[in-house]
Chains A and B, each alone.
Chain A
Amino acid sequence: MVAYESPGLVNDIELITRVVAGDAAAERELYETYVDRIYRLTFRLAGDDELARDYTQATFIRAFEKIGSFRGESSLSTWLHSIGMSVTLNGLRKTKRQRSREAPIEEGSTAAFARAEAEPDLKERLARAIDSLADKYRTVFVMHDVEGYTHEEISGTLNIPVGTSKSHLFQARSKLRVMLADFAPEWVS
């Protein structure tokens, strides 16, 4: 898991000041500091390298455009992740709409059923189960259980209360448990 750490408020302010002043090296430094975390998270949610790159690039482009309005109410890391999640989730919604329009409904449902029957492998089944979760549950689950973000960090990034983050995680796990019930012997043992 990747720890979710900020270089510190003092460093944040210094870096932002330099970026705002037009220091190109500071821009690159900010990018290098956060790009791995942003890219990993967008890749986890998108499941596609090209989409993950697009979303990461869009995140930094938007961040450089708006960094002058950053007030320091949250850490720079939280602020960047917030932009990254907004870009990613909006992009995925668009992609999902496009794909649902392109694939006929009957064909899609038949394919999903056939895949479930033909892929008994646990990892594949888990991946399908996570994909089937609602976005709000899936995002919290991926951030917490896969990428290791705390509920406080998730709360700041997604702009939701900590309790809501916990509730979404509980809901996600419950649904996954039901969907993976036939694999119960594997976690009981």
Chain B
Amino acid sequence: MTEDKFESFLKKTAQSYNTPPARVPRDEMWAAIQAKRAAGPRVVYGGGATYVVGQRRFGTKVWLGAAAAAMLLVATGVGIGRWTASPGAQSGVSPLPMNGVVAEGQAPTGVPDANPAGASGSTSGSVARQPAAVSRHPGAVAAANPDASRPSVGGVDRNPASAGSTGSPTNRSLRADQLVAVQHLSEAEALLTSFRTRSNTDQQMDAALGKWARQLLSNTRLLLDSPIADDPQRRPLLEDLELVLVQIVQLSPGSTPQDRDLIEKTLQQDHVMTRLRTAIPAGAQRGS
């Protein structure tokens, strides 16, 4: 009984809840509907609607998704480009290969004999430095040396002058690194040659060489921390060079001949001079 009374009371009282206006704004709403339909999608009866040309067809989410996909695509492309351009990713291409490092007086392995007429009689310094005829093109190698059917050292043109003439920006960057390395190694060779030929009693010369060695030591360490040292043959050479340069820098004006002999022994044991000369292409202006 109480339940029925409550329902009756509730229905009666609830009539005041959000009471709509007595007059329904029919005409205003119809006008608004017509306006919206005219401005909005064109109605096609049959379950769908076609869109007026030039109107927004897709939602914001679709455009955002498309933009994100485009950015991802660009980023992937740049990433692949950088990866393939990095020295470590280029198989068989080394800015300055040193496959031909050998002991003095021996023919370098993997280096075709570019001077078949008189290579055997050349001096130790010139044995390894005959890359002028070595080219990327097997045909060019064969023309210079009919016996040289093997590919060139590392498959790379060792002449930086010709290497820098063409190529993409990435290749030009690699060749610039190569030029820097060649210049540094040439200067190191000049220093070590000067060190070996100096007089044991010339303390003034020792001081000048020490200053020079200090400068080269700094550059060597910079190169060791740079991509130039990524080459598997170049890094050991730079590390050995660093050791020798440290020894030269540490030579005091009053150092004994035994100290100098110690440096000389290091140079000989590690074949530093030979490796330096092998790493420097023919035609490069050493020490400049």
Beta-carbon contact of A188 and B33 below 8 Å? no
Beta-carbon contact of B49 and A65 below 8 Å? yes
Q: Which A residues lie at the B interface, using CB under 8 A?
A: 1, 19-20, 22, 28, 31-32, 35-36, 39-40, 43-47, 49, 52-53, 56-57, 60-61, 64-69, 122-123, 126-127, 130, 141-142, 145-146, 173, 176-177, 186-188
Is B70 at the interface (CB under 8 A from chain A)?
Answer: no
- With A45-B18, A57-B36 known as contacts, the answer to whether A187 contacts B9 (CB < 8 A) is yes
- With A44-B18, A65-B43 known as contacts, the answer to whether A57 contacts B29 (CB < 8 A) is yes
Which residue of chain B has its CB nearest to the CB of A37? B24
Beta-carbon contact of B45 and A40 below 8 Å? no
Which residue of chain A has its CB nearest to the CB of B18? A47
Which residues of chain B in 12-38 are interfacial with respect to chain A, using CB atoms and an 8 Å cutoff?
13-18, 20-21, 24-26, 28-30, 32-33, 36-37
Which residues of chain A come closer than 8 Å to B41, judged between CB atoms? 65
Taking the closest CB of chain B, its distance from the CB of A140, in whole angstroms, is 13
Beta-carbon contact of B45 and A35 below 8 Å? no
Is B64 at the interface (CB under 8 A from chain A)?
Answer: no
- Number of residue pairs A-B, CB distance < 8 angstroms: 102
Which residues of chain A come closer than 8 Å to B10, judged between CB atoms? 126, 145, 173, 176, 187
Size band of the B side of the interface? Answer: 35 or more
Neighbour of B14 across the interface among A146, A186, A188, CB < 8 A: A146
Given contacts A31-B33, A65-B43, 13 further A-B contacts (CB under 8 A): A1-B15, A32-B26, A39-B24, A39-B25, A46-B18, A53-B25, A61-B37, A69-B46, A69-B47, A126-B10, A127-B17, A145-B10, A176-B10
Beta-carbon contact of B32 and A127 below 8 Å? no
A122 to B13, CA, bound (A): 8
Beta-carbon contact of A187 and B5 below 8 Å? yes
Neighbour of B16 across the interface among A40, A123, A142, CB < 8 A: A123
Beta-carbon contact of A22 and B36 below 8 Å? no
A176 to B26, CA, bound (A): 34
Beta-carbon contact of B6 and A177 below 8 Å? yes
- With A57-B36, A145-B11, A146-B14 known as contacts, the answer to whether A22 contacts B45 (CB < 8 A) is yes
A187 to B37, CA, bound (A): 49
Beta-carbon contact of B47 and A68 below 8 Å? yes
- Can you list 20 residue pairs at the A/B interface with Cβ under 8 Å? A20-B45, A22-B45, A32-B26, A36-B26, A44-B17, A44-B20, A57-B29, A57-B33, A61-B33, A61-B40, A68-B44, A69-B47, A126-B10, A130-B14, A142-B14, A145-B11, A173-B7, A173-B10, A187-B5, A187-B9
